[in-house]
Amino acid sequence: MSGKLSINELATPKITSTGDLVLQANSENYITCASGGNIEFHKPIDLNSVDLTEVDIKSGTIDSTAISNSSIGATGHSTGKFTTLEATTSVNFNNKIENDDINTTAAIAFSKMEALADGKVLIGSGANVATAQNISGDITITNAGVATIGSEKVDNGKIEDATITRDKIQNGTLQNADINASAGVEFSKLEGLTAGQIILGNASNVPTDTAISGDIAITNAGVVSITAGAIVNADVNASAGIAGSKLQSQALPYEIQNEGGFSADKVLTAAQLVGGMFRGSPSAPKTITTPSASDLVAYLSNATVNLGWVYIVRNEASGGPKKLTMVAGTGCSLIGHADIAEGKVRHYMVHITNVGSGTEAYDLISITDDFPHS
């Protein structure tokens, strides 16, 4: 042991036969330093009267082996290692321990640090001092270390370009306003569209793939065609001025129905009415019934509205009464005179007025008075 040790009220030091150093004022108050290096305080000394002006330990250090765990500030007598300093001591370690005094492997327990408030972290201040602060701003953190990004804190500038994939976008969240007006989305990026169908708004105002039907048809090449038989008289503008060359001509077979003398009523077939003429000599007044409109239109495979021709009835009987009377079949409207007297001829116009399935119709119009046949 070297250096200075000055203690008031103690007698002159002496060395015992065992090699111990004894600093003694009386039988109760003394300090011994055994030859093995341990210092003992016998009966606590009022450290107010002790002036430890300088302690010089070999190599200038007090290592961890010289200080008992959790001992500084405890009470009681001191033996062996430095374990006890009385509360009245004037020894003060404040601001005496520096960074270099702490071993690099000291691993000072966090619990030995001053209290750190719930959820706060140590952050260097503007003066470069570790200071307890709350985490705020874009994130918050719990005392379990769980960090949370705040609501609406991530803006465009915080997202790296070309990093968001479709899996990160919640289904059904994109709106029309999210798509740039000049995006130019390719047709190939749309969902499949069945060949020949078009995108058409449905009753709920939702674009839907729909097949075109009715009066027109369309191919997947965009070719539109008018369905056969779709145009009716009402579809043609009153001032359309359709040229006669655009009308389809239809040659009707002209065939005289020669009945000769007969004594029973007659029912005409479609072919007989189209044939154009009935002649015969009834033995008494008889009737001639026209064919149904459906049979007539079916017979005329290309029948169109306003198709017409002349039909002649010739009564070749003499004497009387032996008249012939025209009777309208189903779907036929008889307009004008129906009777043809014996020895007379009457001309009629057959006029198709409807060719729709189930609504077929035609007129039989008297266009001349009956006159003598030659």
What confidence tens digit (pLDDT) does each residue in 113-164 have? Answer: 888 899 899 999 999 988 989 998 889 999 898 999 988 888 888 888 888 8
Lowest mean pLDDT among 58-72, 106-120, 155-169, 347-361: 58-72
**pLDDT for position 340:** 94
Chain centroid, CA 297 distance in Å: 55
Run of H or E residues at 255: strand 255-262
Give the span between the Cα atoms of 134 and 118, in whole angstroms.
9
pLDDT (tens digit, 9 = 90+) per residue, 156-178? 888 888 888 878 888 888 888 88
- 259-310: per-residue pLDDT in tens? 999 999 999 999 999 988 999 999 999 999 999 999 999 998 788 999 999 9
Mean pLDDT of the chain: 78
**355: closest CA among 271, 297, 292?**
297
- The one-letter amino acid code at 360 reads E
228 — pLDDT class (breaks 50, 70, 90): confident
What are the structure tokens assigned to 225, written together? 């065609």
Helix (H) or strand (E) holding 299: helix 293-299
State how far Cα 221 lies from the chain centre.
31
User: Residue 291 has which token pair?
Assistant: 């064919």
Do residues 368 and 347 lie in contact, with contact meaning Cβ atoms separated by under 8 Å? yes
| DSSP code at position 219 | -
Task: Give the pLDDT of residue 161.
Answer: 85
Strand partners, 208: 200
Span 318-334, average pLDDT: 94
